[in-house]
Amino acid sequence: MSQLKSLRGMVDLLPYQTRCWQAVEAVARAHFLRSGVEEIRTPLLEGTDLFARGIGEATDVVGKEMYSFLDRGDRSCTLRPEGTASVVRSAVQHGLLSQGPQKLWYGGPMFRYERPQAGRQRQFHQIGVEFLGVGSPRSDVEVIALAWDLLRDLGLSGLELQINSLGTLKDRQNYRQQLVSWLEARFDQLDADSQQRLTTNPLRILDSKNTTTQALLADAPTLQDALSEESSLRFASVHRFLNQLEIPFQLNPRLVRGLDYYCHTAFEITSDQLGAQATVCGGGRYDGLVQQLGGPPTPAVGWALGMERLMLVLEAAASEDIDGDAAKLTSKKSPDLYIVNSGQHAEALSLGLARQLRASGVCVELDGSRAAFGKQFKRADRSGAAWAAVIGEEEVKAGELLLKPLLVKGEERRVALDDPAQLVAVLQTAT
């Protein structure tokens, strides 16, 4: 019988990786709590029409990458490929927008059928923030600052903020006409994928990864030249607020993001921690999406970061600075005490002692192997525990355990088995 394996692009998170993810999520939760951003949890499975209407049928996500199927009720369902449309659908469905502006965050798995690679899987995970009902340039910068400060607090360096304005729908329609005319005159110089996008989603050509196309685009008209005066003034306000917060930024006129619902400010935050610039967070403003999904006209802005890519960047940061914040987040949590035990009575006492110590806040690993003391001590050393408590039949008869220092300075000492408070005090005060 062949061995069962996970599907391609569906990756297991093993215990060590899960600990690292939990540490990152805890930092994010703390940032959101301080900023008054509340968590929302939406289903993994939605009606396909939500993403077709929200993301745009001409996008690669909807056209090529979604996991869609008919359920037993003959309804077209899709595993969510991103989080924003689901959050907006939920806010509209449950009347949250009638309660005033909403500052929400979400986290969890998303699904896209694309070629798996480092930091990008078919089941991937995002943490995202959505501010619904806020329309000022200041709210754009508040959202950006939240992402910037979170990434800095995680220990990332070499961060760069790239921003662009996509203007209004009318601005983009005017620009689209200019760009299509310019590209049609150079059709034979475009790569095959860009030639196809010319009739479906020409602005996405600006984000092409083809080096020849990118070189050609260096002389193409830019969206900045097509912005109305109102859009230009709004973007200038974003610059001003970013400067006021001393968040450095670079203008990137080719930055368009991959989904149709964006308008005005679009941004990405990259890190050079992996050698080349790698995007770890991206987002922007999407003022028309709420109404497009059946709600009232509502301005909105948000971002999402990919956990898989972020963890790769954090690992690189940890290797570069072994004493930095990233290294602390990704390092293994070691127990305070490792209990080495052998014998029927010793095993029973060890189980009770471990429970009492854990209730007192001590991190305890209890060896359950019944192996010889020598093998148990080797495991205790590998665990990284500061102390080992030895309980054998002799210790049971004496009513004392032997406390041995492993990674701390100190002498061996004996502690009464029936006085766990004394043991806790020794562990807390010893260095």
Q: Of the candidates 380, 426, 378, 384, which has an alpha carbon nearest to the alpha carbon of residue 401?
A: 426
- At residue 430, the pLDDT reads 60
> Has residue 144 got a pLDDT over 80?
yes
> Has residue 136 got a pLDDT over 60?
yes
- At residue 283, the pLDDT reads 95
Looking at domain 337-429, its CATH superfamily turns out to be Anticodon-binding domain (3.40.50.800)
- At residue 100, the pLDDT reads 95
What are 49's two structure tokens? 């029409």
Quick check: helix, strand or coil at residue 353?
Answer: helix
> Has residue 431 got a pLDDT over 60?
no
What are 225's two structure tokens? 């030249």
Average pLDDT of every residue of the chain: 92
- At residue 251, the pLDDT reads 95
Is residue 28 a contact partner of residue 280, using CB atoms and an 8 Å limit? no
- The pLDDT confidence band at residue 214, using thresholds 50, 70 and 90, is confident
300-306: strand order across its sheet? 38-39, 102-111, 123-132, 300-306, 276-285, 263-274, 159-165, 249-251
400-405: strand order across its sheet? 364-366, 337-341, 387-391, 400-405, 413-416
> Has residue 274 got a pLDDT over 70?
yes
H helices present in 125-164, as ranges: 137-153
> Positive or negative CA dihedral for 407, 408, 413, 418?
negative
Distance CA 138, CA 141 (A): 5
What are 114's two structure tokens? 């694309």
Is residue 111 a contact partner of residue 68, using CB atoms and an 8 Å limit? no
Residue boundaries of the structural domains of the chain: 15-167+227-328, 337-429
Distance CA 322, CA 134 (A): 41
> Has residue 260 got a pLDDT over 70?
no
Distance CA 337, CA 385 (A): 5
Mean pLDDT across 242-254:
95
Alpha carbon 431 to its chain centroid, in Å, reads: 37
> Has residue 180 got a pLDDT over 90?
no
* Strand stretches in 263-373, DSSP E: 263-274, 276-285, 300-306, 337-341, 364-366
Reported as a single tens digit per residue, the pLDDT across 375-420 is 999 999 999 999 999 999 999 999 999 999 998 887 899 999 998 9
> Has residue 56 got a pLDDT over 80?
no
- At residue 207, the pLDDT reads 75
Bridge-partner residues for 131, per DSSP?
103, 301
- The pLDDT confidence band at residue 58, using thresholds 50, 70 and 90, is low
Reported as a single tens digit per residue, the pLDDT across 294-346 is 999 999 999 999 999 999 999 999 988 888 999 988 888 899 999 999 999 99
The topology (CATH level 3) of 15-167+227-328 is BirA Bifunctional Protein; domain 2 (3.30.930)
Reported as a single tens digit per residue, the pLDDT across 316-326 is 999 888 889 99
Q: Of the candidates 383, 386, 329, 309, which has an alpha carbon nearest to the alpha carbon of residue 155?
A: 329
Reported as a single tens digit per residue, the pLDDT across 156-169 is 988 999 999 999 98
Query: What percent of the chain lies above the pLDDT cut of 90?
Result: 69
Beta carbons within 8 Å of 293's beta carbon, 6+ residues apart: 50, 53, 54, 85, 88, 89, 92
Q: Of the candidates 147, 146, 129, which has an alpha carbon nearest to the alpha carbon of residue 39?
A: 129
